[in-house]
Amino acid sequence: MDSLVEQIERGTLWQFPGGVHPPEQKSLSNQHPIARLPLPSKIVLPLKQHIGANGQLLVNKGDKVLKGQALTKPSANWSLPIHAPTSGEVLDITPAPSAHPSALPELSIIMAPDGEDSWCELHPVADLSSLTHAQLIDILHNAGIAGMGGAGFPTYIKADSHQPIEYLIVNGVECEPYITADDLLMQTHAKEIVQGIEVMQHLLKPQRIIVGIEDNKPQAIAAMKQACEHNDAILVRAIPTKYPSGGEKQLIRVLTSKEVPSGGIPADIGVLVQNVGTLFAVSEAIYKGKPLIERVVTVTGNTIHKAQNVWALIGTEIKHLLDCQGFTPVPEQRVVMGGPMMGFTLPTVRIPVVKTTNCILAPDNQELAQPGDEKACIRCSACADACPQTLLPQQLQWFAKAKDFDKLEQYNLFDCIECGACSYVCPSEIPLVQYYRVAKAEIREQKLDQIKAERAKERFEARKERLERDQQERQNRHKRSSAKAVKPDAEKAKVADALERVKQKQGDKSAVQAAIERAKAKKAADGSIEPDNSEVAQERAKRKEQARLYKEQKQSAQDTEQTADDKKDAVAAAIARAKAKKAAQQAEKATPDEQPNTDDAKPEPRKAAVAAAIARAKAKKAAQQAEETPSDTAAEPAQAQTDEQSDPRKAAVAAAIARAKAKKAAQQAEETPSDTTAEPTQVQTDEQSDPRKAAVAAAIARAKAKKAAKQAEERPSDTAAEPAQAQTDEQSDPRKAAVAAAIARAKAKKAAQQAEETPSDTAAEPAQVQTDEQSDPRKAAVAAAIARAKAKKAAKQEEENAQDADSTAAPAEQPKPADNNDTSENAPLTPEQKRQAAIKAAVAKAKAKKQAKEQEGNDPS
């Protein structure tokens, strides 16, 4: 297989993707030779006509200048000078409209030609070999040559490439419609173009030089081949006519099959491209010493009477070119700088010709119609098919409208060459290229702002470091000066010894005494004699003793607090044990209450027997609870006695609290009957309707009344006896006071719990008994007997409890005896007794409800 060089030498060509074939319209201007225009009345020279920074001004207002004289000098990288296109006077240096779609003002030099067209001194080069590489680069730099194909890239930067160049490509394609400037330049100045090629060959040393020209320019192809006959390294190739084959990346692909990477430049793949107009300017600068002050411009369009190419001085206003070529404007006339594909409409014709201007197009309304209103994208993909860079124009337009700059860069916006092929084929007439240009400008502005911000941050950090360094140096100087000011201890000692010797000499002391004192001073200096510090030692011992006493007091206070916490924990444990035992008893009591309801299906005598057994079990349970009450709390007094022996004051406080609790429980028990007057009337009304119900209700009521009354009497009597006894014991012995306080607390809590249980344990029975009695009179009789037995048993238990309380405590108040009028339960009841029983039952229920509500309100949980 042939190598790439062999294929190129054989004339092999490749294709690039996309592209369009718009009407050429080149015959309007390529039928006449290049014309010379008269001098304009005013020349406007913008300082910036290329990619890069402005030059530094060398002239002032009112200065006289000669043709070819430098008006600025390079001041930074990628900076090019501008030169006077003719001799004349500098009228002003002021901002003027720029050659840009926005026509934003740029600093410009305004000149008035004097008509003499006098040249300054020129320095042509006869032999290239007599100059070094750097000298040739300086000549190109000072000549102000920039890329004249439209980009405006400084030529001296390309000529001084630090990368090896394998192929030098000369761009003579000129693919855009209407433009014929390069075509006529190659036809008439092929020899000078080849001289410029040889200068670049001398600087870059490429392996091959390829001149690419579209096959629709046969005269230019012939002229270039004839001019290159003496140089075998130059190859002239005719390529197919297709737009935009004149693009740098597309021409490289057609002639070498190489592809420039995304975001890269041709030099990255060893290729460099130069326009034929740029190479002509290189030849003029080297062999004639002329700077870039004029160029060939195509003036064409249907409104131009004499369309042709002209030599236009840099800085000539567009109006002067149009007037010289017979411009006849039409309504809504447009003037385009550049071709119809990549050019832009000028806002005014007072804009000057710059180094990158290659065409002035003045079409009529039929020749280049006004674009219509932008319509919605129909997603036809014609733009993607026509893109020579294989981009996605539709998505790029969406991102540009949304100002999503990250996505634009991700989709390679800067690979777009702005050829306009996508806009040309768009059926919705969307100006895609305009969106891309605006987005590119915004991204560049954003990056410049970021660069400025980073530089400002660097300056701030450098300033901060400098200030910190200066401050550190000042501190170090201060330390050094302080160290010099402070004399060493050895020097101080020497000075003190000298003063002491002088004093000893001046005194009236004897020689022996002086010797003794000197010996003492010497021993003191050596450290052999210790100073008398007895007073200091005594003070230190006193402070140590005070600290020891303070520490002991603090430790004793901590021990006391720990003991109090231990006592509280012991009491809380005893209370918790009592609560647990009481909960177990309540669970045991709940079981027999529910059993009578399960035997309704049995015969009536059996039900009576079962009910009697239940009643006996309940009575026995009540007796056991009365016996267990002291035993449950027996552990607490012992524990409390053990805890309170260590601190009498704590015991006294606990006793006072216990007395207050007992007094409060007694008051609650006394206040209970005050709210129980509302229910007897209703109960009496219900009992009058049925004698059997009245009998059963009377029995239940008597039992409840006796139990509630005795509990109410028992609580005040028990709690009343305890405070007196506790007070007497506390006066005699603090330990007994502590024990009494613990017992009182346990009894108060026990009484409250019993008050809660009383209504809950007995609430279910009357309803069940009443229901049973309604269904059967015999059940009512059995229930009455059970109730009488319960009442009798409860009465006996209460009497026994009262006797035990009388024997164990000295009562401060005589307890009220229980009501024994109804002890004979088997005697028949009179109507008066039934009524009293009903009243007592209602009172008992009200008391139970009241106690339950009060207990729930006082319960801290």
Q: What is the pLDDT of residues 43-65, one digit of tens each?
A: 999 998 888 888 899 999 999 99
Q: Which helix (H) or strand (E) holds 572?
A: helix 534-594
Query: Is residue 166 a contact partner of residue 270, using CB atoms and an 8 Å limit?
Result: yes
So what's the pLDDT on residue 111? Answer: 95
* Angle of CA points 660, 814, 719, to nearest 5°: 20
Q: Which helix (H) or strand (E) is 92 found in, with range? A: strand 88-97
User: What value does the mean pLDDT take over residues 616-632?
Assistant: 55
Share of the chain above pLDDT 90, in %: 45
Residue 779 or residue 421, greater confidence: 421
pLDDT in tens, 789-835: 676 676 566 556 545 544 444 333 333 333 444 433 445 566 667 67
Name the pLDDT band for 478 (thresholds 50, 70, 90). Answer: confident
Q: Are 348 and 316 in contact (CB under 8 A)?
A: no
Question: pLDDT by residue (tens digit) across 186-238?
Answer: 999 999 999 999 999 999 999 999 999 999 999 999 999 999 999 989 999 99
Tell whether residue 387 is among the known ligand binding residues: yes
Helices 691-732 and 648-671: crossing angle in degrees, nearest 10, is 160
Cβ 724 vs Cβ 812: under 8 Å: yes
Residue 742: predicted pLDDT: 62
Please report the pLDDT score of residue 758 as a whole number.
45
Rounded CA separation 389/634 (Å) = 102
175 is in an annotated binding site: no
Q: Does residue 434 or residue 805 have the better pLDDT?
A: 434
Is the confidence at residue 566, as pLDDT, over 90?
no
Does residue 120 have a known ligand-binding role? no
pLDDT at 557: 77
Strand partners of residue 89:
64, 112
Instruction: Please name which of 571, 622, 566, 585 lies closest in space to residue 746, comparing C-alpha atoms.
Output: 571
Mean pLDDT, all residues of the chain: 77
Q: Name every residue whose Cβ is closer than 8 Å to that of residue 822 and which is 6 or more positions away in sequence.
A: 702, 706, 791, 833, 837
Among 315-319, 643-647, 804-808, the range of highest mean pLDDT: 315-319
Q: Could you tell me the pLDDT band of residue 494, with boundaries at 50, 70 and 90?
A: confident
pLDDT band at 843 (very low <50, low <70, confident <90, very high): confident
Q: Could you give the angle at the alpha carbon of 305 between the alpha carbons of 301 and 307, nearest 5°? A: 50
428-435 own/partner pairs: CB under 8 Å, 24+ apart: 428/374, 428/375, 428/376, 428/377, 428/378, 429/371, 429/372, 429/373, 429/374, 429/375, 430/374, 430/375, 430/377, 430/397, 431/371, 431/374, 432/383, 432/393, 432/396, 432/397, 435/396, 435/397, 435/400, 435/401
- 523/813 Cα distance (integer angstroms): 93
The single residue listed with the structure tokens 């164990």 is 808
Cα–Cα nearest to 659, from 594, 602, 724: 724
Q: Which of 98, 160, 639, 91 is nearest to 337 (CA)?
A: 98
- Left (φ > 0), alpha (ψ -120 to 50) or beta: where does 270 sit? left
* Greater pLDDT, 575 or 297: 297
For residue 386, give Cα distances in angstroms to 22, 362, 381, 421. 12, 27, 9, 6
Tell me the whole-structure pTM to 2 decimals: 0.57
Q: What angle do CA 29, 33, 35 make, to 5 degrees?
A: 95
What is the tens place of the pLDDT at every residue in 4-20? 888 988 889 999 999 99
HEC letters along 597-614: HHHCCCCHHHHHHHHHHH
SS (H, E, C) 383-426: HHHHCCCCCCHHHHHHHHHHCCHHHHHHCCHHHCCCCCHHHHHC
Does residue 383 have a pLDDT over 80?
A: yes
- One DSSP character per residue, 732-791 reads H-HHHHHHHHHHHHHHHHHHHHHHHHHHHHHSHHHHHHHHHHHH-HHHHHHHHHHHHHHH
Per cent of the chain over pLDDT 70 is 65
Class of residue 849 by CB neighbours under 10 A (exposed 0-12, middle 13-18, buried 19+): middle
Rounded mean pLDDT of 574-596?
63
The per-residue DSSP string of 636-693 comes to HHHHHHHHHTT-HHHHHHHHHHHHHHHHHHHHHHHHGGGG--SSHHHHHHHHHT-HHH
The least confident of 70-74, 91-95, 763-767 is 763-767
Is 383 annotated as ligand-binding?
A: yes
